[in-house]
Amino acid sequence: MGEEYNKKGTDSKSTPEKMVVEREHKSQQTAAESIHLSKGWFIRFYIFRVCGFILSYIPYSRQALSFSLRILNKLNRATHSEYAYRINQKKAIGNISNPVDFDSGYGYENADEERRVGLMYKAEIISGNHMNRESPALYDHAISVLNDLVGKYGVRQVVNFGVSYAYIDSVLAKKYSDVNFVGIDRSKAIKQLNEEEFRFKNLSFIAGDVMDWINAQKDLSDTLFYSMRTCVLLPQDFIEKLYKKLADRNCYLIVGFEPFGLSCSTNSFYEQAECKKESVLFRDTMYLHNYLGILNSNGYEMKRLEYIKTAHVDKDYRIQSFIAQTR
């Protein structure tokens, strides 16, 4: 990353100098250019999807498939995906007053479930045995990107929206003692978990609505705001409102590390565009958003867009990684 930006020291206490970068479309990958899948993979994908569609209408098919062999487990996943698709295909756009509420139908169902997931991430990190096989590559990539941005461009505050288990934030807070790190999550259980686990003077946690936190800030011109496996769980109208509020507070950098892959709605890769574009269902309860267009409409320029391959069981799965800077 260092080759794409002009270096800037970390001792600045004023608004950080903007990165001087001539935008080049070749530095922004498209999904189709980045992700190469064989014809055999697509044939298998469509076969399983058709089978999943049929089985999703058969009562108790998911329960029966849970006792199957490996091939039937794939059918079970396809059945579940088709069932979730019918439920969630119209939820990508949104129109709910507050999708971060537990009863909104977005994200985890309750605070206990969020705590369970946070503890699962903790156990995976400690043991090195990752049930979420994408996690090691995701953590390494996110730490590398954030370390580069914080270390070189005068960032004085880093905000993690949807923090869950604050492993990445703790790594960076330990290294950058003069930078303020904030983890925001709607769950009080997550706040309690992180406060028990991580005790750095420059790392704090907030349980509540991220919009309320932004409203309470006067100026975010020295702030890096990022999400990881979070925006993918929320609808388009929420993402648009979120980035608009950040722009109103002059937030310096917006960074994302979000799951990405073949859309169950379109059976194709969802490409980014500078114009307005409706979000689509990715899979189950996850959605693909046009971050480039939303950021562009709020005065941000996409500096980097790439798709990171991981060890996830699905060959099409990637981490959509992007960096956007206020103009």
Quote the pTM value. 0.78
Q: Which amino acid is at 198?
A: F
Looking at per-residue pLDDT, the higher value among 34 and 307 belongs to: 307
Q: Name the 3-class secondary structure at 57.
A: coil
| Domains (range + CATH), the chain | 2-34+94-326 (3.40.50.150), 39-88 (no CATH)
Window from 99-108, 123-132, 162-171, 311-320 with minimum mean pLDDT: 99-108
Helices (H), the chain: 31-34, 39-55, 61-65, 70-88, 111-127, 135-152, 167-175, 188-197, 210-215, 236-248, 291-297
pLDDT score of 130 = 86
Average pLDDT over every residue of 44-65: 83
**Contact (Cβ atoms closer than 8 angstroms) between residue 186 and residue 207:** yes
Cα-based distances in Å from 44 to 49, 53, 71, 286:
8, 14, 11, 22
**Contact (Cβ atoms closer than 8 angstroms) between residue 115 and residue 189:** yes
Helix (H), strand (E) at residue 309 = strand 300-309
Whose CA is closest to 125, among 138, 113, 112, 114?
A: 138
pLDDT score of 81 = 63
**Mean pLDDT over the full length of the chain:** 85
CA 260 to chain CA centroid, Å, is: 9
Q: Read off the pLDDT of residues 274-290 as tens digits, 9 standing for 90 and up.
A: 999 999 999 878 999 99
Average pLDDT over every residue of 165-172: 97
pLDDT at 308 over 90: yes
pLDDT score of 11 = 45
Distance, in Å, from the CA atom of 216 to the CA atom of 131, rounded to the nearest integer, reads 38
Q: Name the 3-class secondary structure at 273.
A: coil
Q: Read off the pLDDT of residues 290-301 as tens digits, 9 standing for 90 and up.
A: 999 999 999 999
Best mean pLDDT range from 63-67, 184-188, 295-299? 295-299
Query: Could you give phi then psi for residue 325, rounded to 5 degrees?
Result: -125, 140
Window from 98-107, 119-128, 262-271 with minimum mean pLDDT: 98-107
Distance, in Å, from the CA atom of 259 to the CA atom of 288, rounded to the nearest integer, reads 8
pLDDT score of 15 = 46
Work out the percent of the chain whose per-residue pLDDT is above 70: 79
pLDDT score of 24 = 41
Distance, in Å, from the CA atom of 96 to the CA atom of 109, rounded to the nearest integer, reads 16
pLDDT score of 6 = 37
DSSP 199-256: --TTEEEEES-HHHHHHT-S--TTEEEEEESSGGGS-HHHHHHHHHHHHHTT-SEEEE
pLDDT at 12 over 80: no
Window from 7-11, 39-43, 60-64 with minimum mean pLDDT: 7-11
Cβ-Cβ contacts under 8 Å for 226 (sequence gap 6 or more): 142, 146, 158, 159, 160, 161, 254, 255, 256, 257
Cross-strand bridge partners of residue 325: 253, 301
Q: Read off the pLDDT of residues 90-116 as tens digits, 9 standing for 90 and up.
A: 677 776 656 666 566 676 677 778 888
Distance, in Å, from the CA atom of 300 to the CA atom of 187, rounded to the nearest integer, reads 30
Looking at per-residue pLDDT, the higher value among 28 and 75 belongs to: 28
pLDDT at 187 over 70: yes
Residue 66 tokens read as 């849970």
Average pLDDT over every residue of 32-52: 89
The band of 32, judged by pLDDT with boundaries at 50, 70 and 90, is confident
